[in-house]
Amino acid sequence: MKKLVDSYKRQIKYLRISVTDRCNLRCLYCMPAEGVKLAPPDSILRYEEILRVARLAVEYGVTSIRVTGGEPLVRKGIVDFIGELSGLRGLEDISITTNGVVLSEFAAPLKKAGLNRVNVSLDSLKKDRFAKVTRGDKLGAVLKGLDEAHAAGLRPVKINMVVIKGFNDDEIVDFARISINKPFHVRFIEYMPFNTEEGWDREKCISADEIRDIIAGELDLEPINERGAGAGPARRFKVKGGLGELGFISPVTQHFCGECNRLRLTADGKIRACLFSDTEVDLREALRNGSGDSVIKDLLFRSVMEKPAGHQINENIFKKCARTMSLIGG
């Protein structure tokens, strides 16, 4: 069976699917206070349409699917959708990225439906600061969600912290300490340029190496060499004697575009071959005009062949994406 391989010989094995542009938070670096203009409901792909794209992608070599949003857990029927996804033969891994606000309610049913693991986006452990950055006072619910996800058997449970200088870099070591007593994987992600209200300031981006050095200045770190489940682009370490681990992700300072294996499906039915490229291939029309699987397949292959070598964040020609993060799904 032909595989999804791009013009740089990178095989696509990982599909990120955004199932909604809606969210129950209003994070500063993701969307404006009033939220983003939501797409008309009928422009959002129906679950059966998403499942058709997922089935074809798996037939052509995709083995891992991550469900994202907006906030995926606010979309009705998400548990049944995960159940349907887990029925796809050849799909080895299903994960979800959530803000964790309602995770404690969904963890056990999602696990039962076939979800393997979860990433929770969390950028502050300080109640007031969390409330400020998310425009929602839900820190307690998120922390409870993390424990419930672990109790439900989702593995690994990961925390994604986007480190922003002058905002939360004073919490780096506190986040690392979580991995001492909890079997969570705490991942530190460099601050990336997205289309936001206050814009991106390179000065606020702290490199993954600097973040690791800050932690190593206070805690005893040891590298983890083997490639764990869903390790992705993270460089992995653990605090000596700790239950969990740390991951350092450097899309800005040491990008991993050369090994990129991912495609994204947006909630409104576009295939996006690169996070930072606005080149998109529309699938929705073909999904709704009675086209056969071969047409959808050709559109998938076309998108893969248009996949750029990598992002241009560090080049003068770089321009921010037209879409906000909530309309891409990270």
Closest to ligand SF4 by CB, 83 vs 308, is 308
Alpha-carbon dihedral of residues 147, 149, 150, 156, nearest 10 degrees? -130
Cβ contacts of 75 within 8 Å, gap of 6 or more:
19, 20, 22, 69, 81
Closest to ligand SF4 by CB, 111 vs 272, is 272
Closest to ligand SF4 by CB, 176 vs 249, is 249
CB of 136 to ligand SF4, least distance (A): 28
CB of 275 to ligand SF4, least distance (A): 4
| DSSP per-residue codes, 19-42 | --S--S---TTTS-TT-PPPPPGG
CB of 88 to ligand SF4, least distance (A): 23
In Å, how far from its chain's centre is CA 179? Answer: 20
Closest to ligand SF4 by CB, 185 vs 264, is 264
Closest to ligand SF4 by CB, 8 vs 166, is 8
Binding residues for ligand SF4 (CB under 6 A):
255-257, 260, 262, 274-276, 310-311
How far apart are the C-alpha atoms of 302 and 6, rounded to whole Å? 9
CB of 255 to ligand SF4, least distance (A): 6
How far apart are the C-alpha atoms of 115 and 263, rounded to whole Å? 20
CB of 26 to ligand SF4, least distance (A): 25
65's enclosing H/E stretch is strand 64-68
Three-state SS at 318: coil
